[in-house]
Amino acid sequence: MRYQGNRFENGGQNVDSREAILARIREAHSQREPEYGDLPRLYRQEGDLDVQDRIALLSERLADYGCGVHRCGRDGIAAAIGAVLGQRGRTDMVASGDLPREWLPDTVRTGADLSYRELDRVGGVITRCSLAIAQTGTIVLEHDAHTPRALTLIPDYHLCVLFAEQVVELVPEAMRRMAGFAERPITTISGPSATSDIEMTRVAGVHGPRTLDVLIVK
């Protein structure tokens, strides 16, 4: 039997499943619920913290997940990155293709074109992100040719550079910004790779990067 699109060319099976399922759905409806625009939305859509408090809350949440949280000024990014890497003892780092060269120590290569196996051998990766959510301690990455998904996934260490104005308070505020790049692959990261599968206890360090540092630039 060969499967062709939505049709099975096989004795008695030549049925269009798509039409069959849609027909069953249409038969089922006896009532039509309210229109989309009339759905109740009484949850919080706008936060009330100022930028200072958003950063404080985000830092607390990140630390709660076991992330390293670091801060620097706009003209101190290169020094801060160097210091964090030194502190972690990380060498052989790669970076996403869109980071300004002047932020990076000379030894850092661009990692966007590396194979999976090459990424598996690097010491870690440095990227920036698109935004962060204070309420949940989440950073949001949008992927493109400079920052393919494998780049922030296969290496065991991730250092993420975040700007103060990218921090929103609530999930709904974040989703409104994310809607602007919804056609691109998006990854949200809330702490290092972890599992709760053994006795429901969260332990860090499964398949994604086991160490996550966030550098907040003001």
Partner 1 sequence: MSVYVGHAAEAEAFPRAAETLVADTQLRRNVRHATDVIRRKRARVVDEVPDWEALRETGHAIKQHTLAHLDRYLEEFERNCTKAGGRVHWARDADEANRIIVDLIRATGESEVIKVKTMTSDEIRLNEALEAAGITPFETDLADLIVQLGEDKPSHIVVPALHRNRMEIREIFRRKMKLEHLGDKPEDLAAAARVYLREKFLSVPVAISGANFLVAETGSVVVVESEGNGRMCVSLPRVLISLVGIEKVVPRFEDLEVFLQLLPRSATGERMNPYNSIWTGVTPGDGPREFHVVLLDNGRTNVLRDDEASETLDCIRCGACLNACPVYRQTGGHAYGSVYGGPIGAILTPQLQAMQHSQSLPYASSLCGACYEVCPVKINIPEILVHLRAKAVEQGYEPWQERAAMKAASIALASGSRLEAAQKLARAMQWPFEHDGKLEHLPGMLASWTEFRDLDAVPGQSFREWWAERG
Which bin fits 9, alpha (ψ -120 to 50), beta or left (φ > 0)? beta
Q: Is 204 helix (H, G, I), strand (E, B) or coil?
A: strand
Nearer to partner 1, 80 or 140 (CB): 140
Nearest approach in angstroms of CB 92 to partner 1 is 18
Contact range with partner 1 by CB under 8 A, out of 75-83, 93-101, 123-131, 197-205: 197-205
Site for partner 1 in 120-139 (CB under 8 A): 120, 133, 135-138
Site for partner 1 in 91-110 (CB under 8 A): none
Interface with partner 1, residue 201, by CB under 8 A: yes
Q: Is 123 exposed, middle or buried (0-12, 13-18, 19+ CB in 10 A)?
A: middle
Nearest approach in angstroms of CB 60 to partner 1 is 11
Interface with partner 1, residue 74, by CB under 8 A: no
Contact range with partner 1 by CB under 8 A, out of 48-56, 69-77, 82-90, 116-124: 116-124
Angle, CA of 186, 68 and 71, to the nearest 5°: 90
Interface with partner 1, residue 48, by CB under 8 A: no
Compute the distance between CA of residue 34 and CA of residue 215 in angstroms, rounded to an integer. Answer: 45
Q: Which member of 50, 86, 202, 218 binds partner 1 (CB under 8 A)?
A: 202
Binding-site size, partner 1 (CB under 8 A) = 83
Contact range with partner 1 by CB under 8 A, out of 73-81, 85-93, 95-103, 113-121: 113-121
Bridge partners of 217, per DSSP, are 72, 163
Q: Choose among 129, 143, 133: nearest CA to 186.
A: 143
CB 185 within 8 A of CB 142: yes
